[in-house]
Chain A
Amino acid sequence: TQLLEQSPQFLSIQEGENLTVYCNSSSVFSSLQWYRQEPGEGPVLLVTVVTGGEVKKLKRLTFQFGDARKDSSLHITAAQPGDTGLYLCAGDIGTSGSRLTFGEGTQLTVNP
């Protein structure tokens, strides 16, 4: 069974601060995806990383896939209240279309 551990589970910061969320596993993943989920809604895909060491940027969000493809991080620069939400990492170990294993999620609150 593949497990993804996300940390921290909860994060409350002030507007303008930087933060990093971590996603770790002992398993190797063929891809790692980051989602954002609002209450009562489905997860919305932010990014997919597939190559070890890959770094992707989405405005103030930077996603990194570990060299060994077992871990990933999400870094947010100058957080804004609009960044508040649940961030989920999810990995798949097989070929395209295989199941996703989700982490527990990080609930981020950015206070104005």
Chain B
Amino acid sequence: EPEVTQTPSHQVTQMGQEVILRCVPISNHLYFYWYRQILGQKVEFLVSFYNNEISEKSEIFDDQFSVERPDGSNFTLKIRSTKLEDSAMYFCASTRGFGYTFGSGTRLTVV
């Protein structure tokens, strides 16, 4: 069964530092996403990416966030200057249309 792979599984960073979360989506999928889930809260949409550009972003996805697909396989989320409230599970997902495959997530802790 194809998987979405995310690294690292855990990341602890100091407030104000930059972090890059990495994802390898399923190879024949067309749409790529980042979602986050703050502990005890619902899964929230951050950004979608299609045809090498952002197709939609939420109000959470401000100037501190950016995404890249630097080659044919990786999909990254960068947070430029982390804040305490960025602490959450970050999930990458991909789809060909309907029905997403999610990665296992990166637990980001900002201290």
Chain A residues engaging chain B, CB cutoff 8 angstroms: 31, 33, 35, 40-45, 48, 50, 88, 90, 96-105
Q: Does B2 contact A (CB under 8 A)?
A: no
Residue of B42, B43, B55 near A97 (CB, 8 A) is: B55
Which residues 44-81 of B have a CB within 8 angstroms of A?
44-45, 48, 50, 55-56, 58
* Chain B residue with Cβ nearest A4: B42
Q: Are A43 and B33 in contact (CB under 8 A)?
A: no
Q: Contacts A42-B91, A42-B105; is A48 near B99 (CB within 8 Å)?
A: yes
Contact call A102/B55, Cβ cutoff below 8 A: no
CB distance from B90 to the nearest CB of A (A): 10
By the criterion CB–CB under 8 Å, are A97 and B50 in contact? yes
Complex contact B44–A31 (CB within 8 A): no
Q: How many residues of B contact A (CB 8 A)?
A: 28
Residue of B nearest to A96 (CB): B97
Q: Evaluate contact between A44 and B102: CB separation under 8 angstroms.
A: yes
In the bound assembly, the distance between CA atoms of A40 and B44 in angstroms comes to 16
B105 adjacent to A40 (CB under 8 Å) = yes
A69 vs B76: C-alpha distance when bound (angstroms): 34
Contacts of A35 in B (CB 8 A): 102
**Are A40 and B100 closer than 8 Å at their CB atoms?**
no
Inter-subunit contact B56/A98 (CB<8 Å): yes
In the complex, the answer to whether A43 meets B102 with C-beta atoms within 8 Å is yes
Q: Hey, which chain A residues are within 8 Å of B109, CB to CB?
A: none
